[in-house]
């Protein structure tokens, strides 16, 4: 069995003012604050964008899951630009395609449908993080 990792970074997109960006951030917080608070963490994507050296070092030293709200894939691209390796790149739109009955309407404050999508996505992130903590390569979804 591969060595266990100490912590997995989950980096959601910024996506301010976009429902899928808000869902991605909410799902990341569900994981880091509740579901796997002992083995996951997050950093603000804008720190990477601005070239913050401490943030860049963290993405180079840790296993990383990115969560992007749109096809632009800013989270994934900025982690890679910072020298990090993306262990898994998840997209909110893929979760929505699997659960299209939950169409979010609200943006800044998620409505019930948005919260449901965030919960489904948080479960996906948790499953991937668990595999990464065990040292398994989770695979990368192309964003």
What's the average pLDDT block by block, 10 residues per block, for the chain (143 residues)?
68 84 93 95 92 94 93 92 94 88 77 91 96 69 44
User: What whole-number distance in Å separates Cα of residue 38 and Cα of residue 73?
Assistant: 27
Task: Give the pLDDT of residue 100.
Answer: 77
Q: Residue 24 to residues 54, 61, 95, 122, 136: CA-CA distances in angstroms?
A: 23, 23, 10, 8, 23
Task: Estimate the crossing angle of helix 112-133 against helix 19-30, to 10 degrees.
Answer: 50
Task: Give the pLDDT of residue 140.
Answer: 45
Task: Give the pLDDT of residue 30.
Answer: 96
Task: Give the pLDDT of residue 110.
Answer: 85
Task: Give the pLDDT of residue 106.
Answer: 66
Q: Quickly tell me which residue has 């990115």 as its tokens.
A: 66
Query: Do residues 1 and 133 touch, judged by C-beta distance below 8 A?
Result: no
pTM, two decimals, is: 0.86
């Amino acid at each position: 069995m591969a060595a266990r990792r100490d912590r997995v970074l989950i980096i959601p997109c910024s996506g301010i003012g976009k429902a899928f960006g808000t869902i991605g951030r909410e799902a990341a917080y569900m994981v880091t604050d509740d579901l796997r608070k002992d083995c996951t963490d997050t950093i603000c994507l804008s720190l990477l964008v601005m070239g913050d050296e401490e943030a860049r070092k963290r993405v180079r030293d840790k296993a990383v899951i990115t969560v992007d709200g749109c096809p632009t894939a800013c989270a994934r691209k900025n982690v890679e630009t910072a020298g990090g390796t993306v262990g898994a790149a998840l997209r909110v739109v893929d979760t929505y395609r699997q659960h299209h009955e939950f169409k979010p309407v609200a943006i800044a404050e998620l409505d019930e449908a948005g919260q449901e999508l965030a919960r489904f996505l948080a479960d996906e992130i948790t499953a991937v993080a668990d595999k990464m903590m065990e040292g398994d390569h989770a695979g990368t979804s192309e964003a």
